Homo-oligomer: A and B are copies of this chain.
Amino acid sequence: MTDIQFRDDVTVELVKASATDSDVATAARVSTIGGSHDRVVDLERDEGLINFLTRDRHGSPFEHTSLTFYIEAPIFVAREHFRHRSGWSYNEESGRYKQLQPVFYVPGMERPLLQVGRPGAYEFKHGSDAHFARMASNMITAYREAYDAYQDMLAGGIAKEVARMVLPVGIFTSYYATCNARSLMHFLGLRTKSEHATFPSFPQQEIEMVASKMEDHFAELMPITHEAYNRNGRVAP
């Protein structure tokens, strides 16, 4: 019997970054000082400038940065992620070229399972133990059966790109995602909930798990920009 793995978390690793607060300030000073300015880091002056840029939505200086992440998440999360086009690049594991591994997402016990309210104003509430059991047993069974069918087709010589059609959107995929600080802030504004947000967002919890881990790296790499982002309502400049 195939060794199937169930996960209730996601993986987000920072592969590499060329992204500092100073990059933003230096690029912005091309506008006001021109090429003659030195590129010395002066954190105090940078802070005021970055806050001004964020507040008045001068977004382009934030684009001279680059962050590359390695992500493991279920396909339904990758699908939401890949909707972000502007300033994003992706490379994903291919079900045409390789056999997908039997790793599946099953929500953890703290994940609210019940949806109340109406479209556009949904809220999520925790279910009972019975709700959790019904969800988990259905998922685990469906995942196993789908993966068995996948393996049986592969064993029978069916092409990977055909056999994979039975695999559920809850199976894990892996991908590289490269963005800049501006496109990342736009993503975070839509894919996280925060008390600092001027505009409400309603992300599915699983993509918020990815976004939140990306935000941790962002806050560490660019603390001044991250702070300005929060102070200005988490609206991407």
By the criterion CB–CB under 8 Å, are B202 and A56 in contact? yes
Is the contact region of chain A dominated by helix, strand, or loop, or is it mixed?
Answer: mixed
Interface residues of A in 69-111 (CB under 8 A from B): 70, 72, 74-76, 79, 82-83, 85-86, 88-98, 101, 105, 107, 111
Contacts of A145 in B (CB 8 A): 141-142, 145-146
By the criterion CB–CB under 8 Å, are A178 and B34 in contact? no
For residue A116, which residue of chain B has the nearest CB? B159
Total interface residues on A, using CB and 8 Å? Answer: 102
By the criterion CB–CB under 8 Å, are B91 and A61 in contact? yes
In the complex, which of the residues B36, B65, B142, B161 contacts A204, with contact meaning CB atoms closer than 8 Å? Answer: B161
By the criterion CB–CB under 8 Å, are A89 and B105 in contact? no
Is A225 among interface residues, defined by CB-CB distance under 8 A? no
Contacts of A180 in B (CB 8 A): 66, 89, 178
In the complex this chain forms, how many copies of it are found? 4
* Interchain CA distance A91-B113 in the complex, whole Å: 26
* Interchain CA distance A166-B138 in the complex, whole Å: 8
In the complex, which of the residues B31, B89, B101, B190 contacts A91, with contact meaning CB atoms closer than 8 Å? Answer: B31
By the criterion CB–CB under 8 Å, are A169 and B165 in contact? yes
Contacts of A111 in B (CB 8 A): 162
Q: Which positions in A face B, CB cutoff 8 Å?
A: 11, 15-18, 23, 26-28, 30-36, 39, 52, 56-57, 60-61, 63-66, 68, 70, 72, 74-76, 79, 82-83, 85-86, 88-98, 101, 105, 107, 111-115, 119-120, 124, 127, 130-131, 134-135, 138-139, 141-143, 145-146, 149-150, 152-153, 156-170, 174-176, 178, 180, 190, 199-202, 204, 235
